[in-house]
Structure 1
Amino acid sequence: MADPTCCECMAIREAGTPATPSSALGLVRACRRCSTFPVLAIGSAINAAAVVLGGLLGLLIRNDLPARRQHQLRTGIGLAVIIAGFHQVWTGVRPSGVGAAFGLMGIALLATTIGRPLGRLLRVQAGMNRLGRWAGQMFTRAQEGGRVPFHDGFTACAILFCVGPLSVLGPVQEGLNGDFFVLLVKGAMDGLAAFAFARAFRMAVVLAGLPVLAFQGTVTLLTMWLLQWLPDERMVQSINVTAGLLVVCATLIVFEIRKVEIGDFLPSLLVAPALAWLFF
């Protein structure tokens, strides 16, 4: 929580910070030394709860959602992802002046340019695709009436919910500034997916909420721990801006406009603070 006697906290309150879902809970609007971000990873807990709720509703309700309603929900989720991405970029650049804001945008673009070759070298997206194909095969087998062991169904659901760009970008954002809006959007997406998977995988879908909480919560806590080793606020802002740009790019996947290999861009989150330290 913000310390009323801390000069840095007072400066932040006077300058104002962007409104976030978590700011209403008093988890932000403080300097990094005084902040008490959600130790229990609130966003990941909500995401996991959405998976459980969607799975239970899928077991209880036998009818599929009409195609029109599915299209409306996908459109709404896509717009929410766009808002979340631009909000995160704004969170990163707002505390800076105009010149510094352009500098941060330049660093974010340069970080993605450098980060993508690193991701391809590490085969990040290729690994995600391999896991996704296996999970898709399990789902197809279950839909066609084939027997899928419980542990395979559980593993497939855990992969589908945990292996994706928002599974990393959302927890990183929450760890940086306590803002879990991206995870709220992801929770809506995962809840709808759990509803659809429930008839194929039964209770395995419901229990898949546990690895979601464990994985994403770990990423959030790890991000919070790493923050203390970043000596400059601009380094934190550069991560925010870079992550926001990647979230915006994720809308291309949601709307099925273009298949963007966002996984290969994830190393950009490590490149950005290094560039900020170098240039600022």
Structure 2
Amino acid sequence: MFLFLETASTPITPVDLWAKTSGTWINVATILVGTLCGLLLRKSLPFAMQRVITQGVGLVTLFLGVTMASSLLKAQTGRVDGIILALLAIVFGGLLGEGLQLEEHLYTLGEWLKARFKGEGSFTEGFVAASLLFCIGPMAIIGSLNNGITGDNTVLTIKATMDGLAAIALTSSYGIGVGFSSLMILLYQGGLSLLAGLLPQIMANPTTNPHVLITSGVGGLMILGIGLNLLDIAKVKVASFLPALLIAPLLYSLAKWLT
């Protein structure tokens, strides 16, 4: 789901639509299965146990966020450190996301789905937390790029397995809203895979591309925010920082050009 994986370079050959997006469909399926399992467990687990599960996911999320963020140390260009670029991306991205009210819009979408499908309780919180958790991370980015460029869905299949297990834990606490995060996976990973299919010569090996490294590092900082939210340590508006994922590689290109 979040771990940064090194994958070997694969010869680039034309791939069909299914091959480009197969990893995304597998990911959607595992999240739905995990949600179903979580719903079954939720009926038999007391609240205290559900809370422990959520805290466990939160602790692991913090660790994975730190692991991801360490890729910033590899994304250095000239005299500009990757951490400085990440700071600028997070600040400007957060300001832009707050101005666009991305967090509010995501919650509005969650509330609409909750009303449309007669969800209950923490439906929206589960939808938002799971959507951010499953979409932000190097495995989502690298896996989608690999799938779209070469048709190799190995990384996304591993991510799908991890997401399915996380969905069980999250659903036991938040409910069926977690399952609707599969819609965001379908749009985000599927769209990224299709886009990557148009760029094979530009990004033949996404695991070592510095633009991907800095984007993954910024994503790691956002994952840390999700972990803090799950543990009720703070209320970080993670969705507001989403533009930082686009700004980070742009800042890297600008810094490289200037130096």
TM norm structure 1? 0.63
Question: What one-letter code is carried by the residue in structure 1 that aligns with 2:32?
Answer: V
Question: What one-letter code is carried by the residue in structure 1 that aligns with 2:8?
Answer: R
Q: Distance in 2 between matches of 1:241 and 1:217?
A: 18
Match of 1:259? 235
Higher relative contact order (CA 8 A, sep 6+): 2
Amino-acid identity (%): 21
Which aligned pairs between 1:168-179 and structure 2 lie closer than 5 A? 168-170=135-137, 171-172=140-141, 174-175=143-144
Which aligned pairs between 1:30-109 and structure 2 lie closer than 5 A? 30=9, 39-40=20-21, 42=23, 45-46=26-27, 48-55=29-36, 58=39, 63-94=43-74, 103-109=81-87
Give the superposed CA RMSD.
4.3
Change in CA separation of 1:64 and 1:43 when aligned onto 2, cut-off 3 Å: farther
Match of 2:252? 276
Match of 1:129? 107
Q: Distance in 2 between matches of 1:135 and 1:104?
A: 38
Question: What one-letter code is carried by the residue in structure 1 that aligns with 2:190?
Answer: T
Q: Distance in 1 between matches of 2:242 and 2:56?
A: 25
Q: Distance in 2 between matches of 1:264 and 1:236?
A: 20
Question: What one-letter code is carried by the residue in structure 1 that aligns with 2:108?
Answer: R
Per the TM alignment, residue 56 of structure 1 is displaced from its structure 2 partner at its CA by 5.1
Change in CA separation of 1:215 and 1:108 when aligned onto 2, cut-off 3 Å: same
Change in CA separation of 1:137 and 1:276 when aligned onto 2, cut-off 3 Å: same
Q: Distance in 2 between matches of 1:91 and 1:277?
A: 17
Unaligned runs of 5+ in 1: 1-19, 145-155
- Answer yes or no: is the 8 Å Cα contact 2:71–2:216 preserved in 1: yes
Per the TM alignment, residue 209 of structure 1 is displaced from its structure 2 partner at its CA by 7.9
Bigger radius of gyration: 1
- Answer yes or no: is the 8 Å Cα contact 1:250–1:262 preserved in 2: yes
- Answer yes or no: is the 8 Å Cα contact 2:42–2:173 preserved in 1: no
Matched position secondary structure for 2:254: helix
Per the TM alignment, residue 131 of structure 1 is displaced from its structure 2 partner at its CA by 2.2
Per the TM alignment, residue 135 of structure 1 is displaced from its structure 2 partner at its CA by 4.5
Q: Deviations over 1:133-158 (max 9, x none)?
A: 3455678x6659xxxxxxxxxxx78x
Question: What one-letter code is carried by the residue in structure 1 that aligns with 2:189?
Answer: G
Q: Distance in 2 between matches of 1:226 and 1:87?
A: 30
Per the TM alignment, residue 53 of structure 1 is displaced from its structure 2 partner at its CA by 4.1
- Answer yes or no: is the 8 Å Cα contact 1:112–1:265 preserved in 2: yes
- Answer yes or no: is the 8 Å Cα contact 1:128–1:164 preserved in 2: no
Q: Distance in 2 between matches of 1:255 and 1:205?
A: 17
Per the TM alignment, residue 108 of structure 1 is displaced from its structure 2 partner at its CA by 0.7
- Answer yes or no: is the 8 Å Cα contact 1:166–1:183 preserved in 2: no
Q: Distance in 1 between matches of 2:167 and 2:65?
A: 18
- Answer yes or no: is the 8 Å Cα contact 1:64–1:196 preserved in 2: no
- Answer yes or no: is the 8 Å Cα contact 2:37–2:168 preserved in 1: no
Change in CA separation of 1:48 and 1:215 when aligned onto 2, cut-off 3 Å: farther
